[in-house]
Structure 1
Amino acid sequence: MPVTNPWLAGLAPKKRLDPERLEERILNLLSSQNMCVLATAGPEGPLATPVRYFHLDFTLIFTAAASSPKMRNLAADPRVSVGLFAPLVGQASSRGAQVFGRARVLSDNDPGFAHYWPAIRWQSDHVERSRSLDEPPSGPVVVVEAERIVYTEHWLRREGFAPRQFWTRSKG
């Protein structure tokens, strides 16, 4: 029987990518997707919520209604896990990341808000809802600076690299 991707057979390689190449692949994934699943924990237990994200380097950014369950959970415990992935066609196309960090909720008068706000592309939402582009939305911005990332890409096996790679933010 013909096999489409024979390099997927057998044990996965264990070789690690160099840090620069791994960062490039992670940034490519972050830039080519816009949806993720945010996992939080709160008084009523875990909550996994699909959210649209934006990013600046290895920092994920999203907006949310201040009264939402995810925002209540973040107030109780800022530790989060974020899962994001590219569309899956088959094992060879498997590509995604688990991002771990702490969420910070910033309002428009908080230091740092002005740095992250330009990454939010709110204009298309306003057009879709027939709202004026002269009135930007208000509300909090949630910022998750990645502390570590588990990156998975099975195509790496073709080049002899492990399909699961690990990134950790440098101290400094």
Structure 2
Amino acid sequence: MRWMIALLALTGSAMAQDVPFDPAVPEQCEANGPELAEREACIGQGANLCMDRMEGGHSTMGMNGCLDAELQYWDGRLNAHYREAMARAKAFDADMATAQNGLLSSEETLREMQWAWITYRDAKCDFVRSQWSGGTGQGPAMLSCLMVETGRQALWLQVQAVNM
């Protein structure tokens, strides 16, 4: 929660200008790589191109705007893939009669895993931010960490939703 307050303060002025983030950039990149590791390499490419295209894109405010735009993109995908994985987990539990057979619930363990992942992501990105000792680089460092970790989890959940 601490990171959200700091994040809002750091991105507010960057949001006032047009941010040329194009979601087609990570989508096209992903289309070229079927393996998870190849698709993870696409995380951040849209933000980098955004910074290159935007006037002042490599300023702290510009970086914050582009990184936050891609973070929001991955967060939307993460939520969609989580819903898909949760629906499949519920169906799996029903098919396996999990409760009646005393088996671990896929639905419950998926929910617990996701909450634990959020705690881990936030702590990891707080640590990354702490390395900037309150300097102007802490905003882009934090947003970059959140973007990368959220993108990785979104892609991982996408695989889980398909394979369940």
TM norm. shorter chain > 0.5: no
TM-score by length of 1: 0.28
Which structure has more helix as a fraction of its residues? 2
Which structure has more strand as a fraction of its residues? 1
TM-score by length of 2: 0.28
